Amino acid sequence: MKQVLCSDARRQVRASTVAALFCAMLSSGTAMADPAAAAAGPSGAKGGGGGELDEIVVTAEKRESTVQATPISITALSADELASENVLSVEDLAGAVPGVSMRTAGPGQTEYEMRGLTSAGGSAATVGFYLDETPLSASAVALNGRTVIDADVFDLSHVEVLRGPQGTLYGAGSMGGTIKLVTNPPKIGVFEGATDTSLSQTSSGGSTNGAISAMVNLPMGDTFAVRLVGTQKYISGWIPRIVAEPGTFPYPVGFGTTCASYCTTRGDVGAAPVEKTIKGSNLEKFTAARAEALFKPNADFSVLGTLMYQRIDAQGYNNYQSSPPSPAPYPSTPGIYQPLDVKEPYYDSFKLGSLTIKYNFGFAELTSATAYWKRYVFQSTDSTEALQNINGIAGSTSPTAYPNGFLPDMLYVEEDPTTQVSEELRLTSTGTGPFQWVGGVYGADLHSGYITYNQSPYIANAYNAFGNINNGGAAANPDGVIFNDNNPNVMKQSAAFGEVSYKVTDDLKATFGVRYFKFTVGNHSHQCGVGTGTGNATCQIDTASGKGDNVLPRLNISYTPTPDLTLYGTVAKGSRPGGVNLPIPLPTLAQLQANNGAYNCGVPGSIYVTQQPAYFGPDSIWSYEIGEKSRFDDRRFTLDADIYYVKWKSIQQVIDLSCGYPYSANAGNALAYGPEVEFSALLVTGLTLDISGAYTKAYINQPNTNEATVIASATPGTDPSRIVNVPKYTGVVALEYQTDLTADLHGLFRISDSITGPIEDISYVRETLPSHAFLDARAGVSRGPWGAYLFGTNLTNKLAPLTIDNTTFAWQQPTIIRVSTNQPRTIGVDFQYKF
């Protein structure tokens, strides 16, 4: 758990870290610091002194408890800790918490995973994501439907990361764990405010960044208060778009001779004459605002209303192009190489309204949490070069047949509108007796859409990319529709849950919980274009639906022989809903035979696919975990560790076909296991050492017969059974020193190194992404309400491949791989003020 210095009522910022030394040990849960550092005062203003390590109060079990007293694997970060660890967004948590990994293409394009339970397949996340009482992770038919908002961390109370199945209390979709952001509620009778302003410079193609956040708490009488929070950020891009002179962009090697489509070797794009270079093509602007109003007429009754707005405007993705089999930039300068100047804007807006009502009856507290949120994502990808290589678009036709000697510019556009209404009503026992319980009901109604446009007037009557396979020839297509798709999707869920705990003795406690949930999902697909099953402008309409239910039990036994030692064991089941696949233009066996397999839609190589499942069912896990939480040497040291073993049934996995279309299927059964560990030590007064880490083994051990050939077709040198997007190990090691420089001047210095092990990912084929490490530091002083700090992230200026081709369709093929990467070395100053 995350620890903080307690002496003189001051807290020491935790330093998270993992070392290879602990990878063989038991795994652990740590409590992490909250991003509300600014609201709590200047980071580092509280710290130093001797004393003991203390912990954060959390609500992981729907009631207040300390991390040490909560017998599950949990990490909690307070506001001060988030600030001192340079955690500026939720995405930064993946490098600070053991057992957490992610797939990302940039802000708002991130999927979170825990304990090897990847969400690369299916349409539902494996990790629940909450803002206070509101669930934000949602199943969607969109290819980026598992992503969650990249929330700002200013003025949070703390962040909780719960590892392992949390289905009993947090519902389906939390089978790998839950991330919970807890905001600072309004304070009645208190006027306060805070500001946080930073200015930084990014190297290696980047430029100046800036951010400003502010909070004010306004009391209105003795029963009402309002808290207003706002943030504005500007993040300079660092990835260039490099546009070739007209007619000079090279075709793939062998294009039109040894290969007519899906060529495997990209042309030498680095040698093409450059018309212009657009620097910082992934520039981002971020805006967020939150208003909370609290009405509390007495100690037993309260009403909390929240309004939140967040918006991201980005000019492009945080990725560069590479050429297989290496994820290294191609050529040596990382960037996006284009035949024409085509921008790739990304837009993500989020609106939330929630109402939480609580009433204490004395024996129990009733909570009603109602929420409505709406998210709209617009993203676009340049598909000009990709479509050049696909099934004869440009094919053997002379390049001079097109303007500027090249296929006209193409833009693949995707819109993802999502809305959700949810309600949870629960009753939680109060008091300190040996018997405790919680029970409730939950319901959610989710409407999501996946809308795409990809067309060009130059793809007209006489040109039909798939006509020779699907309908015997070209067909009328005056608008040049390549792939237009509209897929409204509806998922409804309902659940009933309960959990009871009983102290058999003062030291021994047993907890049993169960949740029953059911869901229905339906999709209506309307597709048009040469890239659909009709092979022309004629539209294709399909529907798909499914339903399911599951029972999720959980048993936890904990033994606390002393206040400084807790031993526990947990057996729990987790699950997530099934989903539907978008129809893809698969040929019939007769068509394949008639064309000698020219339309090679199947496993890259020679295995053809002629049908796909319209609906894939839920997957589920059984998780077995044992762990310990201990403090010793007058609580100057803590060691939290656990080890888990997960059996994953009917794993939802993405299947990438050689024709560039993916679909999801229940690919078989899998296993995941490993240790997690967190260690904190107050070495001397003011000096703390924190080490945290996890090692994960995750692989498919029993593939389904229909998917076995897909799994077995992995790229040579990769492990075909290994679950994709799961790092073998993660860890952080950090050293922090706080001291009083003078009677009223406080100093802080912190340095940390995080490491992420190798990952296997899939674009057109499976590839291995190497390990990477990031070195960060922060130093500064605070005096009363003021604080000034110098910070640096990625000080060694590491360029790391994080994931590949993960959130956008855009005609996957072997010559072009999109590699998501991190921000280069960034150094800046941070000023904080509290009043």
DSSP 765-799: SEEEEPPEEEEEEEEEEEETTEEEEEEEESTT---
In the prediction, which pLDDT does 600 show? 55
User: What whole-number distance in Å separates Cα of residue 278 and Cα of residue 197?
Assistant: 28
Q: Which helix (H) or strand (E) holds 536?
A: strand 536-562
Tokens 């400003």 correspond to 212
Q: In 3D, which of 385, 413, 378 has the Cα closest to residue 243?
A: 385
Q: Which residues of 21-44 are buried (b: 16+ CB within 10 A; e: fewer)?
A: ebbebbbbbbbbbbbbbbbbbbbb
Q: Work out the average pLDDT over 407-428.
A: 88
Given this model, what pLDDT does residue 24 score? 35
**Mean pLDDT of all residues in 13-30:** 34
Q: Output the six-digit token pair for 723.
A: 């679950």
**Does the structure show a pLDDT above 70 at 708?**
no
The distance from CA 302 to its chain's CA centroid, rounded to whole angstroms, is: 33
In whole angstroms, give the CA distance from residue 581 to residue 215: 44
Q: CA Rg, the chain, in Å?
A: 27
- Predicted confidence at residue 494, as pLDDT, reads 95
**The two three-digit tokens of residue 504, written as one number:** 């058999």
**Pair 217, 193: CB distance under 8 Å:** yes
Listed in sequence order, the residues at least 6 apart from 482 whose beta carbon sits closer than 8 Å to its beta carbon are: 387, 410, 454, 455, 456, 459, 465, 529, 530, 531
Other beta carbons less than 10 A from residue 186's beta carbon? 23
Q: Which CATH number fits domain 3-834: 3.30.1490.270, 2.40.50.140, 2.40.170.20, 3.30.70.260?
A: 2.40.170.20
Q: What is the pTM of this model?
A: 0.87
pLDDT range class, residue 23, cuts 50, 70, 90: very low
Q: CB 300: neighbour CB atoms within 10 A?
A: 12
The whole-angstrom separation of Cα 295 and Cα 305 is 9
Strands 134-135 and 177-183: unpaired
Work out the average pLDDT over 79-91. 82
Mean pLDDT of 544-553: 91
Question: Exposure string (b/e) for 445-479, b if CB count within 10 Å is 16 or more?
Answer: ebbbbbbbbbbbeebbeebbbbbbbbbeebbebee
What token pair was written down for 416?
């993802």
Residue 27, pLDDT score: 35
Contact 66, 190 (CB under 8 A): no
Nearest Cα residue to 346 out of 310, 323, 319, 316: 316
Average pLDDT score, the chain: 82
* Pairwise CA distance, residues 497 & 440, whole Å: 5
Give me the mean pLDDT over the 509-514 stretch.
Answer: 95
Nearest to 283 by CA among 216, 219, 210, 354: 210
Region 529-533: mean pLDDT is 75
Provide the sign of the torsion angle of the four alpha carbons 314, 318, 323, 325, taken in this order.
negative
Calculate the CA 595 to chain-centre distance: 42
353-364: per-residue pLDDT in tens?
999 999 999 999
Match 């208003």 to its residue by tokens. Answer: 291
Tokens of 51: 């004393």
Task: Name the 3-class secondary structure at 754.
Answer: strand
Residue matched to tokens 């000698």: 596
Taking Cα atoms as reference points, which of 304, 286, 396 lies closest to residue 354? 304
Identify the band that residue 42 occupies on the pLDDT scale cut at 50, 70 and 90. Answer: very low
Confidence of residue 462 (pLDDT cuts 50, 70, 90): very low
Asked if residue 435 has pLDDT above 60, the reply is yes
Mean pLDDT to the nearest integer, 768-788: 94
pLDDT surpassing 80 at residue 586: no
The predicted-structure confidence for 259-276, as pLDDT tens digits, reads as follows 766 777 888 888 889 999
Alpha-carbon span 216 to 291, nearest angstrom: 10
Q: What is the pLDDT of residues 369-388, one digit of tens each?
A: 999 999 999 988 888 888 77
Share of the chain above pLDDT 90, in %: 48
pLDDT value, residue 398: 44
Cα separation, 649 vs 618, in Å, equals: 9
Per DSSP, which regions of 177-223 are E strands?
A: 177-183, 192-202, 208-220
Kindly report, residue by residue over 132-189, the tens digit of the pLDDT.
999 988 767 666 667 888 888 899 999 999 999 998 888 877 899 999 999 999 999 9
Amino acid at 688: T
Max CA pair span of the chain: 87
